[in-house]
């Protein structure tokens, strides 16, 4: 059996931790930046509370993908932790865990760190590249 993999991505965001944190819980915002283009979130549902669920209905170049999860920890403005499942995975019942931290740096900037653990090994490259693009898209939105 192949070991699960972990993705680590960091990005300096052009806004304070509160603003960056809030982007992760706003369905309209998530529709704009969460999926790495050309993939796009068609609909987003978020229950922003511990135990609350989220759902992303995704159009991945014509293929429908369902991403779901549950919030495990919400500590505004420094930490989000949630489970993550993906209907496209070889085992669509497999669950992984995402932790996002937000640390203030310089004037009105945030070091955003994403750690995605327990990923199916065959998904490492897709998710490493995807989280990098997604972080860039969030930074672009915050710069707009």
User: Hey, what are 59's tokens?
Assistant: 């159009």
**Model pLDDT for residues 46-58, shown as the tens digit of each residue:** 999 999 999 999 9
Which tens digit of pLDDT belongs to each residue from 82-100?
999 999 999 989 999 999 9
- pLDDT attached to residue 26: 98
Alpha helices by DSSP H, 44-97: none
- What's the CA angle centered on 91, arms 31 and 136, to 5 degrees? 30
Out of 3.80.30.20, 3.30.460.10, 3.30.530.20, 3.10.105.10, the CATH code matching 7-143 is 3.30.530.20
- Please list the helix, strand and coil fractions of the chain in percent, rounded to the nearest 5, in that order: 25, 45, 30
pLDDT of residue 1: 46
Residue pLDDT, tens place only, 9-51: 999 999 999 999 999 999 999 999 999 999 999 999 999 999 9
- CA–CA distances in Å: residue 59 to residues 2, 11, 55, 90, 103: 29, 25, 13, 18, 32
Beta bridge partners of 99: 81, 115
* Domain residue ranges in the chain: 7-143
For the CA atoms of 60, 52, 12, 29, the dihedral, rounded to the nearest 10 degrees, stands at 60
Q: Which of 4-8, 16-20, 123-127 has the highest mean pLDDT?
A: 16-20
Q: Percent of the chain, pLDDT > 70?
A: 99
């Amino acid at each position: 059996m192949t070991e699960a993999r972990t993705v680590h991505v960091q990005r300096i965001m052009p806004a304070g931790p509160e603003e960056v944190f809030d982007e992760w819980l706003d369905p309209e915002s998530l529709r704009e930046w969460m999926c790495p283009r050309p993939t796009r979130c068609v609909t987003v549902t978020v229950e922003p509370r511990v135990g609350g669920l989220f759902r992303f209905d995704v159009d991945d170049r014509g293929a429908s993908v369902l991403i779901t999860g549950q919030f495990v920890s919400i500590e505004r403005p420094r930490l989000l932790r949630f489970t993550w499942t993906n209907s496209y995975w070889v085992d669509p019942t497999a669950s992984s865990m995402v932790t996002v931290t937000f640390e203030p740096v310089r004037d009105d900037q945030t070091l955003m760190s994403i750690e995605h653990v327990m990923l199916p090994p065959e998904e490492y490259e897709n998710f490493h590249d995807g989280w990098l693009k997604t972080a860039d898209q969030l930074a672009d939105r915050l710069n707009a």
